[in-house]
Structure 1
């Protein structure tokens, strides 16, 4: 990153903060229902469910703020969506104290992986075209969902899309905040979102004494570690790399692992660097100057902490928003990232085919052996690269011409 002035204007704070807010809304409104499903399967009381929300929200908030401030990059952390999805089935057959013990073991695993440096060395050897193709494949479904919701609520999608096009034409920087405000006004006026019954209540942490067992180690800790590593850490790191941010994975693994370790006794499942929601905050739509996008990481952390303090109340608030609104908002917010990822994937003619293989295999989103499509898309691309080009070279990641030009702005 080039050095820039330390002074920040109101505009510098506004745009990244809105990108962060959109990411938080998408995260809670789109995937947090899985936490409630897992809590119900585990038979947790409302107090223990609130403690889970408190601990994981504050955990990702604090770690995201620290990492973003320390490295001046938008390093946003979040819970593992595929990991929580796995817990929906795992908690049905695992006593909750043993699950807490499994969370602790997984967190320790991430700490040691960060200390070893092995994961960072692997990330550095992934060809940039494959990394961009992986990201584009992951985000493709979100872009499609921006328009797929027209089958459910065509008027809402048309209103958001038309607003986005007009705002991009006249005030590109504020297009996302514009459609967020217009969408909320539309939902309230059409009585599709009723916030009148929402009451603020502060959540309190509940300490659970962890228990350790071989069943929880093999049936929860190990799968959760693998799913989180392949389904969240890998794409999350490549999101950062794709937009030119080069902080090592080692401190990110270490800090999120330590945070997960401290939060686990209060119910938090392991958390990690964000992928999908991070992509909303790492691109040009968050701020034209890459050196000021770290503000989005700070703002995200603050929003997460606020949600954590009020626990179930604000989580329920986000879930009042219709799924079509969340999906369309996320898809439109990610259009720029999807486009730049595809452009970066196809920039190098020699690596175009393997990047395309990675993109298509990832977009297919095939789950095998309980491991998601992002991992198998990466495997397909790397295998194709080795077979066609023969080998990898050390530290292959370089910024594309587009990214280099952006960094010089």
Structure 2
């Protein structure tokens, strides 16, 4: 436990939450929450493509919101940092693909082991070594590559839905320039909602339902662990934590609890294995939204993450209703809001990736993450870090201080 970073604590969190709550961090938290709710559609699509039962898919998404929402309430409140919790999207794709091969119980058993590995990694304090092996410019290159699609998805509607897209984007920038006290994200959302009301979007198909997570007992097989559990552990430790930590540091925060994020994610992943869920970890895109300047003063942005967690917990049992509501909305609405919320984060990530050391490694990390390629069934984000580091070690060896000999280090006299 000595390697786990200490936080502010939870005793005064409710009082501090009310003190720090304002329209900026509230709006950022709402946007991040809406984004997280919409991410459940990725699970539904992946599960449907893999031929999984529709009832299981719904339970999977509801558990994702409920469990990660609870951890998303505690982590930012304890550390007073914008650290919303969710699950790994690459892990979700692996999970959906492996269930037809090894069975649900075996896949969840592999999830349990992956969570234990993540917990041990956090308790052992190895994240400092991991973060040293994966320099920040390469992490931010990967982050920029991952987030690039949100920027592209924001401008893509200008082709087929030019009027509403232009209205929302221009509303964001004009309000940022002219309405100093009103968060531009809120203005953009209201502009989009007003257009939908004017154009007569049909919400008649929206249906109401209530569902709760279901308990299940995992099973353990070597095949499931090698095919899915080990890659998931590598993703949680080597990709999800560095991405989240990199985003927070990129927004000006110095002390980010990498070991605690990894350990708590491990505990959450182990718990998830008993409720049809594949992982718990820091949520990179939502972290970008909650930690961005749009969330207001830096020391109050943690409130946005707590708001996101609360939205998850409240919405979880009603996710069937949420899905039908999201499906009734035009696709451009969430795409534009998410892209606008992440603009400053994408800018910061690119600046950190390409303005100093490890430029070639950062570039390859950016390109690989943006490409969306998969190798051995593992997604692009993981390989962006691995190959970005290898490229940088080969061609930018001097940028790795721990690789230099004593004779080569600046300021050290030759022996």
| Number of positions where the alignment pairs a residue of Structure 1 with one of Structure 2 | 386
Distance 2:216 2:148 in 1: 40
Aligned counterparts of 2:201 and 2:128: Cα–Cα separation in 1: 46
CA contact (8 A) 1:30 1:326 kept: no
Map 1:98-247 → 2, pairs under 5 A = 98-171=106-179, 174-194=183-203, 196-245=204-253, 246-247=255-256
Matches within 5 A, 1:383-398: 383-386=390-393, 387-390=395-398, 392-393=400-401
Are the structure 2 counterparts of residues 249 and 169 from structure 1 closer, same or farther at C-alpha, using a change threshold of 3 Å? same
Distance 1:74 1:114 in 2: 19
Q: Aligned-pair distance for 1:301? A: 0.6
1:216-365 equivalence runs, <5 A = 216-245=224-253, 246-287=255-296, 289-348=297-356, 350-365=357-372
The answer to whether residue 23 in structure 2 is matched with residue 14 in structure 1 is: yes
Cα deviation digits, residues 287-340 of structure 1 (max 9, x gap): 1x2111100111111001011132322233233333222222211111111122
Change in 2 beyond 3 A, CA 1:358/1:211: closer
CA contact (8 A) 1:120 1:248 kept: no
From the superposition, tell whether residues 318 and 233 of structure 1 become closer, same or farther in structure 2 (CA, over 3 Å).
Answer: farther
Greater relative CO, 1 or 2 (CA 8 Å, sep 6+): 1
1:63 and 2:93 matched: no
Q: TM-score, normalised by structure 2?
A: 0.84
The answer on 1:374 being equivalent to 2:381 is yes
Q: Are residues 1:89 and 2:97 paired?
A: yes
Offset of residue 78 of structure 1? 0.9
**SS of residue in 2 equivalent to 1:210:** coil
Q: CA deviation at 1:156?
A: 2.1
User: What RMSD, in angstroms, separates the aligned Cα atoms of the two structures?
Assistant: 2.7
The residue aligned with 1:397 is: none
Moved more, 134-143 or 309-318: 309-318
TM-score scaled by structure 1?
Answer: 0.85
- Whether 1:75 and 2:83 are equivalent positions in the alignment is yes
Q: CA deviation at 1:42?
A: 5.6
Q: Counterpart of 1:407?
A: none
Q: Deviations over 1:109-159 (max 9, x none)?
A: 211121122233211454333333332222222112211122332222112
Note if contact 2:207-2:324 (Cα within 8 Å) is conserved in structure 1. no
Alpha-carbon distance between aligned partners in 2 of 1:292 and 1:71, rounded to the nearest angstrom: 12
